[in-house]
Structure 1
């Protein structure tokens, strides 16, 4: 868990279902333009079921999902799915409530998540996949030193159409060469 100033990042927990559901509900159209899973969560009970399943996946490291809190309010989520421990790679994803954007929350959260994946999960490669039009997500990848590798054509079916995805990657060796000032939140 990371705590710094007004920001807290912690592993998901079922007790957070109401707060995360309410955040998602307020931001459903904002989040659903880029992600498919919000359509599967229509009630607080759905969020609770989702968190129970994902907590079990966290325990066996097939996913890692963390909640982001700002000033004690649920602000978003960040994590890794499609973790392949044998090949030491995972796909990083994130979302933030619109009312929390522009405060540096996702910048700090993504730095922490990258460090966590390399240090605690022992990943060697992290990928981010996002729509070419998702400039905020692309900026997070670039600002964290991810390298744009290419385009997956028509790789994500969302909202009735098939979208392209830009793929970014970061290797553990890339991260080790970053400036010390970029990791001010480390212990």
Structure 2
């Protein structure tokens, strides 16, 4: 099982089958908060819906094509982060993340993602790390900007959110630019 210790307060851990209820509860209690930017929230209607999702997360970890991890702050599950996609042939990974509303504003996301970037370059041997955010998701955009990612461009109508397409921004960090 993958466990990444970020600091004294935060651990990133691979979600296990037994964790399906805590993931569901976090999403269910934060639906209106998460729904604005995450296109899958409405489709997760019961804790059991996570059983197959967690199995898929475990499979992508096992085959090296992704790395979905729970964010645990002081032992409490507060969100997810990880590599939604890892393309080994291109040494490229794409990071995604979300936090419960109560966990925001405490530096949890920035500390977690900063550590995940280091893990990507040092352990996964990636050359390029990407983060894609909604153009108007200013809170999410602040994270890659704070971490020194470079804005590469706008992806028009990149993602469908329930009833409309929205534009996203791609940020990137290259190994040669990374300052750790």
Counterpart-to-counterpart distance in 2, 1:124 and 1:8 = 24
Gaps in structure 1 of 5+ consecutive residues: 179-187
Gaps in structure 2 of 5+ consecutive residues: none
Secondary structure at the counterpart of residue 42 of structure 1: coil
User: Is 2:112 the counterpart of 1:109?
Assistant: yes
Secondary structure at the counterpart of residue 48 of structure 2: helix
Secondary structure at the counterpart of residue 45 of structure 2: coil
**Who is 1:182 aligned against?**
none
Secondary structure at the counterpart of residue 59 of structure 2: helix
Counterpart-to-counterpart distance in 1, 2:22 and 2:7 = 20
TM-score by length of 2: 0.94
**Who is 2:65 aligned against?**
62
The one-character-per-residue Cα deviations of 1:87-126 (angstroms, maximum 9, x if unpaired) are 0111110000001001110010001111111122111111
Secondary structure at the counterpart of residue 114 of structure 2: helix
TM-score by length of 1: 0.90
**Who is 1:98 aligned against?**
101
Aligned with residue 34 of structure 1, among 8, 33, 37 = 37
Counterpart-to-counterpart distance in 2, 1:20 and 1:136 = 22
Q: Given that residues 17 and 44 in structure 1 are in contact (C-alpha distance below 8 angstroms), is that contact kept between their aligned partners in structure 2? A: yes
User: Is 2:148 the counterpart of 1:135?
Assistant: no
The one-character-per-residue Cα deviations of 1:139-164 (angstroms, maximum 9, x if unpaired) are 10111110001101111111200100
The one-character-per-residue Cα deviations of 1:47-83 (angstroms, maximum 9, x if unpaired) are 1211111111111111111100112111000011232
Q: Given that residues 33 and 159 in structure 1 are in contact (C-alpha distance below 8 angstroms), is that contact kept between their aligned partners in structure 2? A: no
How far off its partner does 1:29 sit? 1.7
Aligned-residue Cα RMSD (Å) equals 1.2
Name the count of aligned residue pairs: 177
How far off its partner does 1:6 sit? 2.0
Q: Which moved more, 1:4-13 or 1:75-84?
A: 4-13
How far off its partner does 1:3 sit? 4.8
Counterpart-to-counterpart distance in 1, 2:172 and 2:79 = 22
How far off its partner does 1:38 sit? 2.2
**Who is 1:80 aligned against?**
83
